[in-house]
Structure 1
Amino acid sequence: MTGDAQPAEYRPEKPLAALADWLGDPVEPADFPQTILRWRNDRAAAGVGLSALSDAEWIRHFARFDPLPATLPGPLALRYHGHQFRVYNPELGDGRGFTFAQMKGGGGRLLELGTKGSGTTPWSRTADGRLTLKGAVRELLATEMLQALGVDTSRTFSIVETGEELRRGDEPSPTRSAVLVRMSHGHIRIGSFQRLAVLEERDHMAALVEYCLTQFPGPVPDGGGEPATVLMNQVVERMADLAASWMVAGFVHGVLNTDNMNVSGESFDYGPWRWLPHWDAGFTAAYFDHAGLYAFGRQPEALYWNCGQLAIALRTLSEAQPLLDALERFGPLYMAHVRRRWLWRLGVAPLGDERDAALVAACEEAMRESGVSPDAFFHRHRFGRSARGALAQALDGYEPARADHPLWSEPAPPSLVLERVEELWAAIAQGDDWQPLMDEVAAIRRLGEALGPPPAPAGHA
C-alpha cells in the first residue's frame, strides 16, 4: 500500500463473504475494560471515506467492533496452515485477530481492515489473543517507516489501549495492552492455499485463485495461461519486489513463515523486526531464530522458498512446469527490483543494468568498510554526493533524478535502529508521554515526502 491515499467516499464491499463458510470462522471480539484512543490514521482513513468519524465513533467501530455499514456482517478469523521455520504446521489460523470490513479505496482497489489483539478465536490454542501496547507501537513505527521507504506495506490504521495487564516472557511484565487495526488490500496467505491443498479442497482452491486474481489484479504473463499459473506469476513478481524493497530499506522482518506471506504482495505482521545498525548479511532480528534462517541477507531466498510452497499447493490445479517456469523468474526479477529501488533511494537516474549493478555493489562495499547504517549511507550520498574512492568512480556519470528537499541538508535522517525504538517506548512506558512518538511519525512522513514514490517497474503503469 505505497503512496498517500486520496480523499474518497465510503464505498463498502464484501466479496470475502462468498468464501467465508470455508475460509474462516465467525468470532466475537473481546470486551475490553477500557478503550483509550492512542492513534488514528486519518491519512489512510481519508482514502476510504472514514476520516470524518468522531473519536467516539472511531472507538465504537475499531475497539468495540460494531460493524461498519454494508460491509462484512461480523468478524471472520481466517483459517490457514503454514511452514514455520521450514516445519509444516496444520494448526494455524488467526489466533488473535480477524477481518471485519472491506471497502474500495480512492483508486478503486479493494481495501480490508483486520485486527491484532482483538481476543481469542478457535485458532488461539493456549494464547490469550491479546497484543501488548509496545507491540502496537512497534507496528506503527514499522509500517510508517516502510511506507516512507517505498515498501508495499500494510498500514497501522488504529491503536486503542485496552486497560488489561499482560504477561509475556520476552519483555517486562505485567505490561500494557492494546488492540490494533491494520489496513491492507487483503489477508490471503500462501498458507491459505497450503491448507486447501492438504485438505484436497480443489473447488475451494479454484475459487480462492479466482478471488485473488479479481481482488488483487496484476499483469497477465505473455501467452496468458490457466488461472493458477497467472496467479503464480503475479505472486512471484510481488515477492521478488518485496524482498528487494526490504533489502534496500535495510529492514529485517524476522519471521518469514508461509503464514506471514500475503499473496497481495504486502509486507505485514510485524513482530521482532529490526533495521540494520550496519550492513551485515548475517544480522538476525528474532532472538529465537538461532540458525539465522531469516537473517537480513537470507530474506530473498526465504521468499523464493515460500513461493515454491505456493507452487506445490497450486499443483492441485495446474501442471508442474508452468508453475516452475514462473518460480524461476524470481531471481532476475529480484535483481532488477534491487537496482531500480537502490538508485531511487540514492536519488540518481539509472544508466543501464550493468552500470547500475556495479553501483549497487560499490555501495554495499562502502557500507561494509565504513560501518555506517544504510539510513546514514543513503542520506550522506543522496544525489551521488560526498563519495570518495571506488564509490566516487562507480557514481561517475550519474545524474540526480529528483528535485532537492530541505531534509537532505540536515545532519541525519529519521532512523529506527533498536536504540531509537526503545527510547520512544520508554517515554510512553515511564511517563505516558506520546509526543516523541508522534514527532517521530511526523519526521518519518517527511522522509517519505522527500523521497517521493519509487518508480514503477518496467512494464507497469
Structure 2
Amino acid sequence: MILTPQPAKFTPARDILDVPSLGDAVAPATFPQHILRYRNDRWAQSVGLGELGDAEWVNHFGRFAPLAGSLERPLALRYHGHQFRVYNPDIGDGRGFLFAQMRDHLGRLMDLGTKGSGQTPYSRFGDGRLTLKGGVREILATEMLEALGVYTSRSFSLIETGEALERNDEPSPTRAAVLVRLSHSHIRIGSFQRAATLHDEGLLKALTDYALTKLYDATPGENPAAQLLGLVVERTADLAASYMIAGFVHGVLNSDNINITGESFDYGPWRFTPLWEPGFTAAYFDHQGLYAFARQAEAIHWDVAQLALSLRTLSETEPLVDALNRFPELYAAAMRRRFCWRLGIAEGDADTTSALIESAVRAMIESKTPIDRFFFDWRGGVLRTPTSEQHYTGPVWAELKGNVASFANPAAASHIYWHGEAPCSMHIDEVEAIWAAIDTRDDWTMLEAKIAQIADLREAMSGP
C-alpha cells in the first residue's frame, strides 16, 4: 500500500488546458526572502526534478519560474462546494494555484500545486499567504500518512518567505511560507458541482472525460458518468478506511476538499487521535462533530453523493444510485484489508476478519490503549513480550487473543523498528513541540529527527 518512488526523466505535461474555463491565469506573489526549509527529494526524483540544485529549486518553487514544457502561467482553479453541508459558490483557489503538470515514474499525470503563493480572484478578504507553522504541519501530516499507507498528496517543497502574518486564531505576527504539493490531480468534487450549478454540460462532459482518460487511464464506456462515479466510490471508500486504520482525523471533509482521484490533501486542522475515540474532532469550529473520527466515512460518502447529483444530466439516475450504494460494502472490505495490512497479517474471510477487528476496537476502547501502541505491540498478530504482557490482561484482551491466534505471522515483526521501545506517533503535543523549537529558537532538528523516524516506520511497513 506504500508506493515507492523511482527515478524518472522529467516529462512535462499541460493536459489541464484541454478542459475549458477551469481556472484563471494568475501571477505569483513576490516574496522578500526565499529560505529553503524542506525539499522532498524522494518524490522529486519520481517526476525528474531530483537533480535540481537548491538555487534552481528556489527559482521554480519560490519565485515560480515556469518548468520548461509545462504551464506557462499558473492557474487558480475554479470550483464550488459544500462546506459543513452548506453550499458555497464563492470559493476557488484563494491562496494557491496549479503551477505545473508532468508524468511520474509510473506514467501518471501529476500536478504541482501551491499553498500560500499569493492572492487570486478567489481570495476574497484573505491575504493569500500560508503560515510557516501551517507548512510544517502539512509536512508532518503527509509524511506520517504516507508511512501508514494512506493515499495522500506529498509535501514537495517548503520555502520561508520572510513575511510577518497576522492571524486571528494563533499568536501573531507569525512567520510565512509557501508550500508546493505533489498530487495526482487537483480536480475536486466541487469542480463538478460548479459545472452542474452553472448548467454547463459541456464542462461536465470535459471534466468527466479528463478524469477518466487522464487520471484513471480508463477508456470511456457507454455511460462515462456512472463509470467515473464507480471509480470515485471505490477510491474514496478506501480513503475513508485508511483514515480510520491510521487513527487520522482530517478535520474539514468538505466536498471541495475531496479529490476526484480519492487522494487525501489539504491539511488544515488535522489531528491523529491517540485513542479509538469515535467522537474525536480535529477542527475547533466543528461544533457538531460532523467530521469526527468515526463519522469520516459518512462524510465522504455524503460528498460523493454530491458528485452523483452533479452528474445527473449525463446519466440516468439508476446507474448512479447503484454505483453510490456500493460505498458501504467497499468501505467494510477496505477496513478489513487495511487493518490486516497495518497489523502485518494475511486477511482471512470476511466474517473472521470482521470479528477480529471488532474485538480489537472494543479492547482498545475499553482499555484506553493508544492506536499506535496496539498496532506496534501486536505486530504480526503476536503480542510483544515481556514488556507489554502486563497491560493486555482481562476479558476483552482474552477475546482478542482468541480471535487473532489463527492469523499469527511473527515474520511481520522482523524489521528492527518493531524491536524498539515505542511506536512512531504524531500526536498534537509532539507537533506543537516541533513547532515551538522552530518558532522560538529556529531549531529544525526536531523536525528533521521526526522525518527520519517516520522514514523508519515507512520502511518497516513497506516490507512483506
Whether these two folds match at TM > 0.5 is yes
Q: 1:385, CA displacement in angstroms?
A: 2.1
Residue in structure 1 matched with residue 5 of structure 2 by the alignment: 5
Q: 1:345, CA displacement in angstroms?
A: 0.5
- 4+ long deviations beyond 6 Å: 218-221
Whether 1:413 aligns to 2:423 is yes
Say which SS state the counterpart of residue 412 (structure 2) adopts: coil
Residue in structure 2 matched with residue 310 of structure 1 by the alignment: 307
Q: Map residues 155-174 of structure 1 onto 2, 5 A cutoff.
A: 155-174=154-173
Say which SS state the counterpart of residue 79 (structure 1) adopts: strand
User: Deviation per CA, 1:314-340, whole angstroms, max 9, x where unpaired?
Assistant: 002111110000000000000000000
| Contact preservation (8 Å) 2:212, 2:219 | no
Whether 1:364 aligns to 2:364 is no
Residue in structure 2 matched with residue 446 of structure 1 by the alignment: 456
Could you tell me how far apart the structure 2 residues matched to 1:238 and 1:2 are?
A: 15
Change (3 A) 1:353 1:225: farther
**Counterpart selection for 2:298 from 298, 301, 310:** 301
Residue in structure 2 matched with residue 190 of structure 1 by the alignment: 189
**Counterpart selection for 2:324 from 324, 327, 333:** 327
Q: Map residues 49-64 of structure 1 onto 2, 5 A cutoff.
A: 49-64=48-63
Residue in structure 1 matched with residue 404 of structure 2 by the alignment: 395
Could you tell me how far apart the structure 2 residues matched to 1:297 and 1:403 are?
A: 29
Whether 1:235 aligns to 2:232 is yes
| Contact preservation (8 Å) 1:131, 1:178 | yes
| Contact preservation (8 Å) 2:382, 2:408 | no
Could you tell me how far apart the structure 2 residues matched to 1:17 and 1:100 are?
A: 12
Q: Map residues 65-144 of structure 1 onto 2, 5 A cutoff.
A: 65-144=64-143
| Contact preservation (8 Å) 2:8, 2:104 | yes
Q: 1:313, CA displacement in angstroms?
A: 0.2
Q: 1:364, CA displacement in angstroms?
A: 0.3
Could you tell me how far apart the structure 1 residues matched to 2:120 and 2:414 are?
A: 50
Residue in structure 2 matched with residue 277 of structure 1 by the alignment: 274
Unaligned runs of 5+ in 1: 455-461
| Contact preservation (8 Å) 1:3, 1:453 | no
Residue in structure 1 matched with residue 380 of structure 2 by the alignment: 383
Could you tell me how far apart the structure 2 residues matched to 1:71 and 1:360 are?
A: 46
Unaligned runs of 5+ in 2: 384-391
Could you tell me how far apart the structure 2 residues matched to 1:3 and 1:430 are?
A: 36
Q: 1:218, CA displacement in angstroms?
A: 6.2
Residue in structure 2 matched with residue 207 of structure 1 by the alignment: 206
Residue in structure 1 matched with residue 15 of structure 2 by the alignment: 15
| Contact preservation (8 Å) 2:379, 2:413 | no
| Contact preservation (8 Å) 2:98, 2:114 | yes
How high is the sequence identity, in percent, across the aligned residues? 58
Could you tell me how far apart the structure 2 residues matched to 1:241 and 1:66 are?
A: 37
Residue in structure 1 matched with residue 284 of structure 2 by the alignment: 287
**Counterpart selection for 2:249 from 233, 247, 252:** 252
Change (3 A) 1:343 1:218: farther
Residue in structure 1 matched with residue 39 of structure 2 by the alignment: 40
Whether 1:266 aligns to 2:263 is yes
Change (3 A) 1:346 1:2: closer
Residue in structure 2 matched with residue 352 of structure 1 by the alignment: 349
Q: Map residues 22-33 of structure 1 onto 2, 5 A cutoff.
A: 22-33=21-32
| Contact preservation (8 Å) 1:260, 1:269 | yes
| Contact preservation (8 Å) 1:10, 1:103 | yes
Aligned residues: 451
